[in-house]
A = this chain, B = another copy of it.
Amino acid sequence: MTRTIDLETATELIEASQAKAEEIGVPSVVTVANSDGNLIAQHRMDGAWLASVNISKNKAYTAAALQMPTHELAKPSEPGEPLYGLQTTDDGRIVIFGGGFPLRRDGEIVGTIGSSGGQVDEDMEVARAGIDAFEELSG
């Protein structure tokens, strides 16, 4: 079953991520998707890279499509590792570096969030601010 969060919640998470992005000075694109990886909402902050529009959306897609955070995919996708080549599958939508995360309620994935705009650790921090907001809203 496709699970989803509503648009109101999605925009609240995005705003929480945007607040963090502003705080650390990293103009970002933040996307929230449903558990099928389809977009609910996406915001491109002023000055964020154009490439981040696509990368943010695909981080959210990847977190849904493989049901895990995107930063867990880099290591197994390296040459010599079992999933080498993963990053070119699924019509080029798989992103293997950090910034995409599932959003869970009672252990079930109900959506995902993807952020792009800075260094990978910054993207992860921005996305996690959205996750924190989600957990507060759900708590």
Compute how far the CA of A51 lies from the CA of B83 in the bound complex, rounded to whole angstroms. Answer: 13
A104 at the interface (CB under 8 A from B): no
Q: Which of B53, B62, B87 contacts A39 (CB 8 A)?
A: B53
Compute how far the CA of A38 lies from the CA of B51 in the bound complex, rounded to whole angstroms. Answer: 10
Compute how far the CA of A49 lies from the CA of B38 in the bound complex, rounded to whole angstroms. Answer: 11
Pair B84/A7 contact, Cβ less than 8 Å = no
Compute how far the CA of A42 lies from the CA of B92 in the bound complex, rounded to whole angstroms. Answer: 21
Compute how far the CA of A12 lies from the CA of B58 in the bound complex, rounded to whole angstroms. Answer: 25
Pair A46/B121 contact, Cβ less than 8 Å = no
Report chain B residues within 8 Å CB of A17: none
Pair B66/A62 contact, Cβ less than 8 Å = no
Mark each residue of chain A from 20 to 48: 1 if its CB lies under 8 Å from any CB of chain B, else 0. 00000000000000111111111111100
Pair A85/B74 contact, Cβ less than 8 Å = yes
Pair B55/A90 contact, Cβ less than 8 Å = yes
| Minimum C-beta distance from A82 to chain B (A) | 4
Mark each residue of chain A from 56 to 80: 1 if its CB lies under 8 Å from any CB of chain B, else 0. 0010001011110000011001111
Report chain B residues within 8 Å CB of A80: 78
